[in-house]
Structure 1
């Protein structure tokens, strides 16, 4: 009978392919406490931490024929696997809590009601009006940046301005547009979030 305690991690990984479950028992004995500590540190729940470690070891055993270690030690691999499994558990816990609280993700809310489409059109008109009310040079810089997608440097070269001047125009344009649409934006979004 083979005593797996005398073998290193690389050897254990090779022995796993034989299907001898005593190899998994040896890995369990070597790393259970460390894996449990990592899982418990992340999850804060002993039962979930134990389940997490068991899941990682089960997955390792299922992958035994294709599993290999490059440079990392088995301990590092297992710690990463436990960390990732912990994140999965935390994600599942979060989704279950949201579901229990009646949370509806934003993508499941119908945003295409006639009222909202009207509001979006009004906001677009307000933005266009704010852009047209900008000083000529400022409006040109803003249009080249937002509508044509030119960089600050490209705009500066095209209009023979310094990059700092272009940045100043963009800052002013953003501020003016925000100020001209702030009230409408507030009116739009407050009812959406309090429905």
Structure 2
């Protein structure tokens, strides 16, 4: 069995072309902490930073057969790759924030008529009933997120849950609420769309 610790970066790149996954493990062991530090410094979020590093390493592995180092060291290449992937994540985060800020479900609804006011009230009541029917923990997470504006991390700390558990509760709440209000939402928005 080859001990890749004794080889330099250029040799590792050559071995990587052969498809030996242990080379990727060695690159991971050598550069994980540095890559994570660079990503975290740019993103300010550990979970996103870890995802960023994993994405870069996956791309490196996918490109292994064509990958080569000209003058740069592997560390410099990985730092640039982390920077670029961080920019992609920041750009995606920015676009999602803009989309969320610009979305207003009642902006399209003209509440000039009593019928529309009644429909909007009914929709609000149906949403409230859907929230009320959620399991207790799920309802609490949803309320802290939507009504108090807490982040996933803040909710996890406040309720002593993992962030993944909080995300699961939010996903379930959104799905249940959407399923419980789907028919009425369709009734409200289809006539408005075709006006």
TM-score by length of 1: 0.52
Could you say which residue in structure 1 is the equivalent of 2:59? 59
Alignment partner, residue 177 of structure 2: none
Number of aligned residue pairs: give it: 103
Q: Unaligned 5+ residue runs, structure 1? A: 104-195
Within a 5 Å distance, the mapping from 1:5-154 to structure 2 comes to: 5-102=5-102
Q: Which runs of 4+ in 1 moved over 6 A?
A: none
CA distance in 2, matches of 1:54, 1:9: 19
Give how far 1:102 is off.
Answer: 1.1
1:154-173 alpha-carbon deviations (Å, 9 max, x no partner): xxxxxxxxxxxxxxxxxxxx
Taking only aligned residues, the RMSD between alpha carbons, in angstroms, comes to 0.7
| Counterpart check, 1:3 vs 2:41 | no
Matched residue of 2:102: which SS?
A: coil
CA distance in 2: counterparts of 1:68 and 1:28, whole angstroms: 17
Larger radius of gyration: 1
**What is the TM-score normalised by the length of structure 2?**
0.52
1:142-181 equivalent positions in 2, closer than 5 A: none
What secondary structure does 2:84 align onto?
Answer: helix
* Whole-angstrom distance in 2 between the partners of 1:66 and 1:20: 15
Gaps of 5+ in 2: 104-195
